[in-house]
Chain A
Amino acid sequence: MAFKCPACKKQWDVSLQVARHIFGTGDKKHREWIESQGVSYADLLVQQATNPGNASYQTVADLVEKAQDKL
């Protein structure tokens, strides 16, 4: 199945990819969507930048998956 970016509707096969796209774009539109999910964009980004692994991306990927029904 394809996953759409909740902010701009671009789509990928994997939700993690959408999460990477959201961080990689990082503009206001995408930041706001993350914030609207009740998590802090900055916190996630700092976590991603300073710790090994991909915990932040996974968090967002999960949110992206949950959001698919409403798109």
Chain B
Amino acid sequence: MTTTSLAKEKLHVINTHVHNIDGIAKVTGRATYSFDVKLPGMLYGKILRSPHPHAKIINIDASKALALHGVKAVVTGKDTLGVKQGIWRRYSELCDEQILPVEKVRYIGEPVAAVAAITEEIAEAALDLIEVEYEVLEGVYEPYEAMKKEAPEIHEGVERNINVTRHIEWGDVETGFEQADYIREDHFFCGGQAHMCMETRSAVASYTPEGKLTIYHSNQSAYYMQALMAGVLGMKEGNVRVIAQYVGGGFGGKFELDGAIFTSCILSMKLHRPVKVIYTREEDFIATKRRTPMHYWVRTGIKKDGTFCAREARVVSNGGAYTGMGATALYLTGFFHSFPYRWENYRYDGYRVYTNTLPSTSMRGFGAPQAMFCSEQQLEWIAADLGLDPIEMRRKNGHYAGYEVPGQAFIASCGLDEAFTVMKEWIAKKGKLPANRGIGFSAAGFMSGGIFNWFDTPYSFSSAVVTINQDATVELHIGATEIGQGSNTTMAIIAAETLGVKVEDIKVHSGDTDHCPADLGAWGSRQTLMTGNATKRACEDAKAQLLEFAYAKMGLNIVYDLDIKDRWVHIVARPERGMPFDELVTIALRGKDGQRIIGRGFYTPHRKGMISPAYSYMLQGVEVDIDPETGKIELLDSLTAHDCGQPINHLGLIGQLEGAFSMAAGYGYLEYMPYEDGKLMNPNLVDYKMIRATEMPETPIHDIDTYEPEGPYGAKEAGEGLTNPTAAAIGNAIFHALGVQMKECPIRPHMIVDALKEKAEKEKAGK
């Protein structure tokens, strides 16, 4: 479905050039993050971490630490309720993590005790004085090893360390393969990736004698933190206030409980004083969570003419020590592995296995970047094997608006076909390339928020409250969390458009559970669509209340439509006839005995399948140069063809797409997390390589115009989905440049050198 010209003409604010409403605060140093919060009487907390990947805690003696001048308290698991928590609250067996474990530790870096002292230095010195007696247990670090009979048991009663299994299937896969002319099988491995938020995990907790807890915390969902903390502390949610006003990045790593929030709260409750815990960069690397490493096996059957017949995929993922959001990643990787194609027959089996390594979880793309690395490279090789045009082969099997993924999802808007055309032109324009240079592309799709409610919230997925002040300024209260992606600005734009005012009239209140309605938060690309819909409905509610007074005042025949645009209340057919918005507000206030106009809106998806209410589509092209001697990869150019429905926040969209490219490219060839015996070998920014300015190519964006009926003003996901295609696009570029197939990401230089060597040997043997 494309935008009707009527819908387009109506937009006054949406997709115009608007500065981020938090911009001034951020470019002047005024924005205050949890990292910066300082409260009167505040103490500083530090966490003692396990040096062992797997060990029983026999005894902890903190007496020497407590004797150190300036130390106020030491807490261990025994000072907690010992609640095993997790974000999959509907399934108790998946709530498996005590942030301060009582009996045993399961990965290097896991918190064992926490100290509060009058300075950070004293707290740190006290850590060395805590004596912990461990009984070291055998550890296991790789999922295939952890599934063996003789492997140590990481969680009591979990046989073979198998944590979660997932199965997705439609069609008749066996018959599908029988119909195929060509079947290809490949094994892949996709590594982990650190979220590497610029603001490390930070929390300041303040518990006061009336039994109320206030927490400043860097997170992606203030509501989740409130609910989870209430759960582990045995408190009422209403007595826990979480404030996440400015958040220094999230990327999928900040919507589960972390050691900073947990220990700061436990210490503050013990001492009735504010306690601040911030992670060092090293702690952020070794003791948060990471993108889920996955072993992928993919079998694909295809006809000679390029028709897709069947696909089967099997995934074994390294879950690390706890479940977290990893269970969701295991599900979504299996679903998005089918994207963006019409597989009549599809089967996915996923297995998540516990190991004694850093827990793995969601990260931007939520399992889909792994899925696409495998899927899109294999398709490229199949096209080469069969002599088919890789674009036309994909196009022929691509999703379209009106398609239903059997039993799973309905595609209401889809700009994929145009994206293929755009990509084809870009590649053609490049012409013949010099040696060792290649162009690759990859297709992908993504969700606009999840439909699942494993968290078991009793609230609407998103809610918004809009209040009109007497001077016609507007207070918008939303539970969405602004983590830099620009959601406050996006919601302000939607509110201004709907109410007919200007963006500067809207004050957005978000990230504070005391004052904002519950919202699941910033993950799974959900806020633009879900909070956007809630915001739109709240504004429509307020507007309808106001317009009642306008009708009465203007004495119009009821067939006339009234609307508000640019602060002007008017008859749609005769826009010059009307009154200023603030006058109408004054009239309405008088008519309502002074009650403020308050609009309420909410959104929970219904009848939208299993996964998401809407899907975005994207193609990523990259041009790379490889030095065959060293295997070094250089990104020279790129093209993004992107369908996010109606863009809402023009500047924000560009930023999100460019940012997704850099993170995804890093996953493709730089960001590597090597473990040895459960220990991360590069937990710092010198050795953990990521895209820097000099590695970043130009990133032109071609926006494809579609209209998503379920989204606010036709909008859907942008910014997360583009993390999905890039690693595969780099792999495909290497394939076209050098003729080697890279089955592991990140694709590191030595892998290219080895592959070239192997290729040369094969060719030699062939002669």
* A–B contact, 8 Å CB criterion (strictly below): yes
Write the residues of chain B forming the contact surface with A, with a CB cutoff of 8 angstroms.
Answer: 91, 93, 144, 147-148, 159-160, 162, 164-169, 185, 297, 314, 316, 347, 349, 351
- Check B144 against A26 for contact (C-beta < 8 Å): no
Q: How large is the interface on A (under 10, 10 to 19, 20 to 34, 35 or more residues)?
A: 10 to 19
CB of A55, distance to nearest CB on chain B (Å): 13
Q: A49 near B: Cβ within 8 Å? A: yes
| Nearest-neighbor residue (CB-CB) of A46 within chain B | B147
The answer to whether B147 and A24 touch across the interface, beta carbons within 8 angstroms, is no
Contacts A43-B160, A49-B351 aside, 8 further interface pairs with beta carbons under 8 A come to: A20-B167, A25-B167, A41-B159, A42-B159, A42-B160, A45-B351, A49-B349, A50-B144
A55 to B144: give the CA distance in the assembly, Å.
18
Which residues of B sit under 8 angstroms from A25, Cβ to Cβ?
167
Whether the pair B165, A26 counts as a contact (CB closer than 8 A) is yes
Residues on A with C-beta less than 8 A from B144 are: 50
Main secondary structure of the interface of A (DSSP, over half): helix
Q: Give the distance to chain B from A63, nearest Cβ to Cβ, in Å.
A: 17
A48-B349, A49-B351 given; A24·B159 CB < 8 A: no
With most chain A CB atoms within 10 A of its CB, the pick from B164, B165, B351 is B165
For the complex, what is the distance from the CA of A26 to the CA of B352, rounded to whole Å? Answer: 12
Do the beta carbons of A24 and B314 come within 8 Å of each other? no
Which chain A residue lies CB-closest to B94?
A: A27
Q: Contacts A28-B93, A48-B349, A50-B147 known; A20 to B169 CB distance under 8 Å?
A: yes
A: which residues have CB within 8 A of B? 17, 20-21, 23-28, 40-43, 45-46, 48-50, 52
Interface SS of B by simple majority: strand
Out of A21, A40, A42, name the residue touching B167 (CB < 8 Å).
A21
Expressed in whole angstroms, the Cα–Cα distance for A48 and B166 within the complex equals: 13
B169 partner residues in chain A, CB cutoff 8 A: 17, 20
| A65 nearest CB across to chain B (Å) | 17
Q: What chain B residues lie within 8 Å of A27 (beta carbons)?
A: 91, 93
A-B complex: 4 closest residue pairs judged by Cβ atoms: A24-B167, A42-B159, A42-B160, A26-B165
Q: Which of chain B's residues have a CB closer than 8 A to the CB of A21? A: 167
How far apart are A35's CB and chain B's nearest CB, in angstroms?
Answer: 10
Q: Tell whether, in the assembled complex, residue B167 and residue A23 are in contact, meaning their CB atoms are under 8 Å apart.
A: yes
A49 touches B147 (CB 8 A): yes
- Which residues from B are CB-within-8-Å of A48? 349
Cβ distance A30 to chain B, nearest Cβ, rounded Å: 10
Q: Compute how far the CA of A40 lies from the CA of B93 in the bound complex, rounded to whole angstroms.
A: 19
The answer for the CA separation of A52 and B298 in the assembled complex, in Å, is 11
Which of B162, B164, B185, B297 interacts with A42 by CB under 8 Å? B162
Can you show 17 pairs from A to B with CB atoms below 8 A apart?
A: A17-B169, A20-B167, A20-B349, A24-B168, A24-B349, A26-B164, A42-B159, A46-B147, A46-B160, A46-B162, A48-B349, A49-B314, A49-B316, A49-B349, A49-B351, A50-B147, A52-B297
Which residues of chain B are near A20, meaning CB under 8 Å?
A: 167, 169, 347, 349
CB contacts (< 8 Å) of A26 on chain B: these are: 162, 164-165
CB atoms of A24 and B162 under 8 A apart: no
Within the assembled complex, what's the spacing in Å between the Cα atoms of A47 and B697? 45
Is A23 touching B165 in the complex (CB atoms < 8 A)? yes
For B166, list chain A residues within 8 Å (CB). Answer: 24
Q: Is the CB of B164 within 8 A of A45?
A: no
Whether B160 contacts A24 by the Cβ 8 Å rule is no
With A46-B147, A49-B147 as contacts: A23 and B349 at CB distance below 8 Å: yes
Distance to closest chain A CB from B151 (angstroms): 10
Q: Whole-angstrom distance between the alpha carbons of A54 and B132 in the complex?
A: 47
Residue of B nearest to A47 (CB): B147
User: Which residues of chain A come closer than 8 Å to B164, judged between CB atoms?
Assistant: 26
Contacts of A50 in B (CB 8 A): 144, 147, 316
Residues of A within 8 A of B162 (CB): 26, 42, 45-46
Q: Give the Cβ gap from A52 to chain B, nearest Cβ, in Å.
A: 8
Q: Judge whether B165 and A45 touch: CB under 8 Å.
A: yes
